[in-house]
Amino acid sequence: MPLVLYTDGSKSDSGRTGSGVYAKAEDGLVFRCRFRNPDNCSVFRSELLAIREALNFALHFENSDIFVLTNSKSSIHYLKNWPEIREKTGQEVVSKIATLSQKSRVCFQWIPSHVGVFGNEEADVLAKEGRALPSASSSELFTSEIYSIHKAIANSAWKNPPTHDWYAGNRPGLSLQSAGTRSAQTALARLRSGHIKSLKFIDREKTFSSCPCSCPASPAHIIDCIGASTRQLWSGEGKGLVELLERHGVMDLV
């Protein structure tokens, strides 16, 4: 009788991942295994880790054909190109396949997920239970996974601007929601961001053109010079601020 192993990987919205393996040997022995993987581990790698654990179990059996059933086509295609595999987990899987092939026939087969295949459904449940475990058995990540984490952090930092006066808006599109003409909205947006027309970069340093009072025309100075306050930038008084800019003849600086 062949040894049939079902494997699966799972990932939650919060980034917790787990793997599950279900098997039933010819002597009636049922094998269930679940474990948590490093946070932000990809589903693909969780599938590979489940396959590795399934092959570890298969090493305890002699002269049995081994069938690994997975719903991950990418894992099968990846292992099929075994000469190109360079990362540790894939190499360990290939090594175990080579060891098992010396005494048994090892076959990989794709099966569709969530169609009522008992073993596959059991492996899916185990993988979800695995991601809920308190700690991961390993902290290793693929290079691509580490890159994805850093990219997500960088994108998050970009989407969450620095906390200073010029980025004090409490919702996106604040300038576009301001009353007034397009030029008034543009002026408010530039003052809120700090990137006004008089801003120049010289040797990577911020410099500003001169205000009519001969001081550098930074956003803070312009608002102070016309007798306004930064509070007007983030309230319904934006229209009054624009009128002050026009009255003092400094709209060209903004």
The rounded distance, in Å, linking the Cα atoms of 100 and 145 is: 30
pLDDT at residue 92, rounded to an integer: 92
214 backbone φψ class: left, alpha, beta (φ>0; ψ -120 to 50):
left
Same domain, 143 and 178: no
Residue 59 domain boundaries: 3-157
Residue 22's CB: how many other CB atoms inside 10 A? Answer: 27
| Average pLDDT of the residues in 98-125 | 92
Same domain, 61 and 113: yes
Number of structural domains the chain divides into: 2
The rounded distance, in Å, linking the Cα atoms of 129 and 118 is: 17
- Using the 3D structure, point to which of 104, 134, 157 is the last residue of a domain: 157
Query: Looking at per-residue confidence, does 112 or 214 come out higher?
Result: 112
pLDDT at residue 166, rounded to an integer: 46
Report if residue 120 sits inside a domain. yes
Same domain, 25 and 50: yes
Report if residue 174 sits inside a domain. yes
Report if residue 54 sits inside a domain. yes
Query: Looking at per-residue confidence, does 76 or 182 come out higher?
Result: 76
Residue 31: exposure state from Cβ atoms within 10 A (0-12, 13-18, ≥19): middle
Residue 60's CB: how many other CB atoms inside 10 A? Answer: 11
Same domain, 108 and 138: yes
pLDDT at residue 159, rounded to an integer: 54
pLDDT band at 177 (very low <50, low <70, confident <90, very high): low
Q: Is the pLDDT of residue 244 over 70?
A: yes
pLDDT at residue 74, rounded to an integer: 92
- For residue range 190-223, list pLDDT tens digits in order: 887 778 888 888 777 788 888 888 888 888 888 8
Nearest-5° Cα angle at 7, 4 to 9:
175
Report if residue 104 sits inside a domain. yes
Report if residue 253 sits inside a domain. no
User: Running DSSP on this structure, what letter comes out for residue 203?
Assistant: T
| Average pLDDT of the residues in 42-65 | 89
Q: Is the pLDDT of residue 120 over 80?
A: yes
Domain containing 44 — which CATH number? 3.30.420.10
Report if residue 80 sits inside a domain. yes
Same domain, 16 and 118: yes
pTM above 0.85, yes or no: no
Query: Looking at per-residue confidence, does 61 or 54 come out higher?
Result: 54
pLDDT at residue 230, rounded to an integer: 74
Using DSSP bridges, classify how beta strands 106-110 and 30-37 pair: parallel, antiparallel or unpaired: unpaired
Considering the chain, what is the average pLDDT of its residues?
81
- Using the 3D structure, point to which of 110, 130, 157 is the last residue of a domain: 157
pLDDT band at 54 (very low <50, low <70, confident <90, very high): very high
- For residue range 3-48, list pLDDT tens digits in order: 899 999 999 888 889 999 999 876 677 899 999 988 878 889 899 9
pLDDT at residue 123, rounded to an integer: 95
- For residue range 137-164, list pLDDT tens digits in order: 665 665 555 555 555 555 555 555 555 5
Strand order in the sheet with 3-11: 30-37, 17-24, 3-11, 66-70, 106-110
Residues in CB range of 187: below 8 A, 6 or more apart: 242, 245, 251, 254
pLDDT at residue 248, rounded to an integer: 82
Report if residue 163 sits inside a domain. no
| Average pLDDT of the residues in 93-113 | 92
